[in-house]
Structure 1
Amino acid sequence: MATASRLAGNLRLLAESAWQHLQDDPALLAVQISRRLPPGVRVRAGRALHAAAGGTRRGEGLAALGALMTGRSDLAGQSASRAAATSARLGYEVAILLDRTDLVDAAAPPATRARANWHEGDLQGALGILEREGEGEGTQARRLRSELELLQPGFRLDPPRASSRSLTTPEGDRDPEGELRVLHLLTNSLPHTQSGYSLRSHRILGSLRSLGVRSVALTRTGYPVMVGRAGARQYDVVDGVTYRRSLPRSLGATSQARLQQEADAAMDVVASFRPDVIHATTDYRNALVAQAVSEATGIPWVFEVRGLMEQTWIASHSTAENRRRAAESEKAQLVAAREAELARQADQVVTLSRTMADELARRGVDPEGILLMPNGITEDLLHHDSDTATARRDVGLSLPGGAFVVGSVSALVDYEGFDTLLRAVARILEDETAPEALRSTLHVVIAGDGAAAPALRALARELRIGGRVLFPGRVPASAAPDWVQALDAVVVPRRDLTVTQWVTPQKPVEALALARPLILSDLPALREVARTDGGDVCALLVPPESPPQLAEAITTLWRDPGATGRRVAEGRALAARRTWGAQVRRYEAAYRRLVPDPRGADDAR
């Protein structure tokens, strides 16, 4: 009965979320649903939709959506342009997803014009459109107004309140003297989301547990039901780590309402778990919840800045001009100021790299109060020894004997720059002066999924290298080390954007631990990841977005196994000093500085 009731409640939340998305952005909802299909199914469905729907006023919008599903942004743009010319709403909506807000003209519905302004970062302008059109009190305006209010200087959530219900506590009642307890506030988590963010969180929580620090994590309101997990429970326990869910009876209608629901859920956890510290992780919305609970309880809070939200948003725009405009927009300025303000108000700030710490200091955060916690590795990676042939067999990778394989295991988003890798490989294969032994054996494996996946598959076909490129899709976290060791070289060809200059990814240090040769874009954050104590960089560095120089680096690595071996040995020694088990002791020390006597502080509360 309880299971049936839980499922019914989750289905209600899922329906509410889908309805809100359908009202706010129907094209995006369709694309998000399509991304949950197997890649082959998604591409075939998109092609069929594009072929069947084009040619009519009503159909061009659907044709644009179909082309977008296949990764053919050029065809999607052509269909969206034709649809917009006839004032077809879906065409306008697809144009916004394509970052072609220039196609959204005065004939578009007010809701769509407002969405175009919001996409460009003109938040007040978006609200102004709705107000002038008599829709200032409608659902969309209330949601946009709520998001804008969250970004205002000094905004705080209302004091949260715990419910009268008692929570089941899978953590148990053990309470030894001096034990630290930490409530972590996360955006998403395992087992429902596998990403660099969720894996870092899980490894930190697991390593803290091994030190005797008890942790409970709470994820955002509605998650994971809102990403399609209708069978989600109120909590999951993964490798001994407890992830609690904020799944209310009904989903808040605005961002502010949902954050208030999360803050109330956090108070329930505080009442049952009695944490000594609250640890919020990127972005500012988690920080707002931590701040509210801290002010209501007196519990100190930590803000871990893993990225800069506005820079990730800027990088999502498709052209240099659009990124420039986004960087100068109201949204970018408000988000940057909001996150900096909250970081200044936290009791402790944590970030991933020196480049990030320097930027936070420029934004007014006390540099003495910033704790560096680089991406690390689980110690088992250092003992995960497997030759490439064995690893390929273990993951079911069928390649010719002697194949030389370059690639990565990564989220497939535009700023990762994997189009540069495909163009570099195509250049080698077409170059008659390149070593014939390399040309005959060179293959690419890019494991993972994401918004850029359809376009990368389309580019491989366009470059006529499809027979040399494998996209296995998302792979389980447990299998990721074998996929990395199946590669002869790991390539991280990130674009040159502000977000990639500052934010360090997880995959390079894991590749170093797995003794894989490494080729990196020459960016400050990536240099920092691979720099040894002596100042050398144990990777080949290439200018970003340069297929010719990346092709040269691949050829150099293939030709010079001796130099490669030296860099690999240096890299593994570097990775061995960055195990999570060693690094999280700094978290424990920071927590104890905030709460010198955990039990005494608890008694005072």
Structure 2
Amino acid sequence: MVKIPNKAYQSQDLLKNLFLAGQVAGRHLADDPVLLALQITRKLPYPLAQRVGACLGRLPGAGTRALGAQVRGERVFPDDAARLLRENPAERGAAGAHGGSLLSIWQGIQRRIAAEVALGFGVLDWRDESLPTVTRARAAWDAGYVSESIELAERARKSGYASRLRGEALMLTPGWQVPLEKPGTKAPRANQDRENPKLSVLHLLTNSTPATQSGYTLRSQRLLEALLKKDISIKAYTRIGYPVMIGNLTAGAQAQDGPVIYERFLPASLRGTQPQRLAQWAGGVLKKLSELQPQERPRLVHTTTNYPNGLVAQAVARQLGVPWVYEARGLMEETWVSNKKTEVAQSEAESSQRFSLIRNRETELMQRADHVVTLSETMKGLFVERGVAPESITVIPNAVDEKLFDQNLSPEQARAQLNLPAEGFWVGSVSSLVDYEGFDTLLRAVAQLRRKGADVRVLLAGDGVARGSLETLAQRFAEDPAVGEFAVFCGRLKPEQAYIAHQALNVFAVPRRNDRVCRSVTPLKPIEAMALGRPVLASDIPPLAELVHNGMTAPTGLLARAESPESFATALEELMQDDAARAAYARAGREFARSRTWAKNAEKLESIYEKLCGFSHEAPK
């Protein structure tokens, strides 16, 4: 039976969501209307961003043109905007006093825009006292100077922004826990209710499909699907305000993707600071759980990084009197550093107060959790070095759906479905297009081979902040007649199309940079490529080497020196010239992928859950 949604109820949801989004936008407007306007431009879809960026680039004003460059995805802060920021505002103001006041105002606006854009490019010095104080506060926070950013926000008399920064700092304070405003209902311990044949688990998530398509959400979706097949009862709740806060104003109280139902927490209003919102979220979770029958309440709480989720899971589990699992999917402080645009900014961030606070907070939560789940042996080793007991950590790697093994398209057949040329040797990836993925290295390597006469082509499926700069680089190479047009960017694809894109390739590339975050996190997509019978060419860094030389099978591909186009070109040429080696790598990859399925991961998780709960259940016959 199909349930027809109540239109009146949907209208109420929409009005509530509009009010919620408007409330948050109003806070940002009060903080800084210029910043709010700039943030809106940064959320534009890629095709629209290219058109808007081009229009802005043709307008007068160095700040406006710099904004256009940023919207288009360019990676270098324009020289004329940099010169504008170096000007002495006092001298410009004195010159403007002689009949040039409108010009002075215009230049002041342009300098303000240039400063905000420079912050986005990572080249703004928060110590520059000629900048607006609130801009300096944001730049200081972005650089990791927690105490200084709060002081500057207070000096700028932005009480709301200062309060939010103090809240962020409070969450990072060692020992701080989410206060529960109202006590919740205790859940029965597993061994107190033997009549319930199901193990019930609460999952707290940052986001989810279908609203967000990412490696994070796909891992969550696949794990939950596999757990449901084992007849484990799952309650999956996403963070408070999601997905309205990312622009989905039509979101309802629930969203379903296949068998998985995600509960949303969309209150009529959000509290002002992050600690208050975490308390609001935890209270909302406990209220929902109190409405369930005692035997339906969770016997365990499972959450994923980062620390706000961990803090809420800790509070809810504490109130319910049940154990909790912390799934560390990355190193949050390293991820934060990796988003910095320059080596200088990354170095400064690594030595900052914020870096150490995040690192210590994540470590503390792993130590306090009843069990830790992570993605690779590399990550487990890092956590053990930080003081987490090795016996409390289980590696549950990224995996594949068993249905992938049934797909067996040739590269030519897959290209035909994507309307790509059949000829050529294709290398590429299905991935987020972000800087640390290193696809500029791949483009440079392929350009080298094409200059030698090899018909090598690149396919990149996905989107991200680096897409604009990658397309610009490919176009620049294409101006060389010896290289020509060789790269196809097909944007974000639906899952079924993404699998076809995998199969359109002769070689799947993972040219990740040798960044600290890349040396710890194992990506999902290369394992899918192995399941689909494609050899892998990857950077020689620990998590990727762990996949290619896994100790279970023959090598699944080749490794090349990270950030070295020459090394990638050499390895790629070797793969092009040896059909037998590619076939052997593909066979080994499929064999390895069969050991990493979501069904096997669900068995591991079930074992962890039962051990923590002192409970063993059998599915009804």
Normalising by structure 2, we get a TM-score of 0.88
- 1:303-318 mapped onto 2 (5 Å cutoff): 303-318=326-341
- The 3 A distance-change label for structure 1 pair 269 and 588 is farther
Deviation at 1:398, TM superposition (A): 2.5
Residues 436 and 512, structure 2, Cα contact 8 Å, conserved in 1: yes
Which residue of 185, 189, 196 corresponds with 2:208?
A: 189
Residues 532 and 570, structure 1, Cα contact 8 Å, conserved in 2: no
- The 3 A distance-change label for structure 1 pair 78 and 540 is farther
- The 3 A distance-change label for structure 1 pair 22 and 472 is farther
- The 3 A distance-change label for structure 1 pair 68 and 84 is farther
Q: Aligned partners of 1:502, 1:305: CA distance in 2, in Å?
A: 11
Q: Aligned partners of 1:28, 1:556: CA distance in 2, in Å?
A: 50
- 1:154-553 mapped onto 2 (5 Å cutoff): 154-161=175-182, 177-271=196-290, 272=292, 273-394=296-417, 396-399=418-421, 401-430=422-451, 434=452, 436=453, 438=454, 441-464=455-478, 467-534=485-552, 536-553=554-571
Structure 2 counterpart SS, 1:52: coil
Structure 2 counterpart SS, 1:402: coil
Alignment-mate amino acid for residue 574 of structure 1: F
Residues 379 and 520, structure 2, Cα contact 8 Å, conserved in 1: yes
Gap regions ≥5 residues in structure 2: 1-7, 90-107, 186-193
Q: Aligned partners of 2:175, 2:269: CA distance in 1, in Å?
A: 28
Which residue of 45, 49, 52 corresponds with 1:42?
A: 49
Q: Aligned partners of 1:494, 1:324: CA distance in 2, in Å?
A: 19
Q: Aligned partners of 2:339, 2:439: CA distance in 1, in Å?
A: 15
Q: Aligned partners of 2:43, 2:407: CA distance in 1, in Å?
A: 31
Deviation at 1:320, TM superposition (A): 2.2
Residues 512 and 568, structure 1, Cα contact 8 Å, conserved in 2: yes
Structure 2 counterpart SS, 1:189: coil
Greater CA deviation, 20-29 or 329-338?
20-29
Deviation at 1:404, TM superposition (A): 1.3
Deviations 1:450-494 (A, max 9, x none): 111111112112222672111111111222111110111111000
Q: Aligned partners of 2:423, 2:79: CA distance in 1, in Å?
A: 42
Greater CA deviation, 182-191 or 259-268?
259-268
Deviation at 1:559, TM superposition (A): 0.6
Residue 167 of structure 1 corresponds to none
Alignment-mate amino acid for residue 199 of structure 2: L
Deviations 1:176-234 (A, max 9, x none): 83211111111110001000000000000000000111112111111101111000011
Greater CA deviation, 253-262 or 346-355?
253-262
Residue 109 of structure 1 corresponds to 132
Residues 182 and 279, structure 1, Cα contact 8 Å, conserved in 2: yes
- The 3 A distance-change label for structure 1 pair 98 and 372 is same
Q: Larger C-alpha radius of gyration, 1 or 2?
A: 2
Percent of aligned pairs with the same amino acid: 40
Q: Aligned partners of 1:235, 1:222: CA distance in 2, in Å?
A: 13
- 1:120-159 mapped onto 2 (5 Å cutoff): 120-131=143-154, 133=155, 135=157, 138-159=159-180
- The 3 A distance-change label for structure 1 pair 479 and 163 is farther
CA RMSD of aligned residues (A): 2.1
Gap regions ≥5 residues in structure 1: 55-59, 165-174, 600-605
Alignment-mate amino acid for residue 228 of structure 2: R
* Pairs aligned (count): 573
Match status 1:15 vs 2:37: no
Deviations 1:342-392 (A, max 9, x none): 110001110001111111111111111101101010000111111112212
Structure 2 counterpart SS, 1:541: strand
Deviation at 1:269, TM superposition (A): 3.3
Q: Aligned partners of 2:542, 2:362: CA distance in 1, in Å?
A: 22
Deviation at 1:419, TM superposition (A): 0.9
Residue 579 of structure 1 corresponds to 597
Residues 221 and 258, structure 1, Cα contact 8 Å, conserved in 2: yes
Normalising by structure 1, we get a TM-score of 0.91
Structure 2 counterpart SS, 1:74: coil
Alignment-mate amino acid for residue 415 of structure 2: R
- The 3 A distance-change label for structure 1 pair 455 and 47 is same
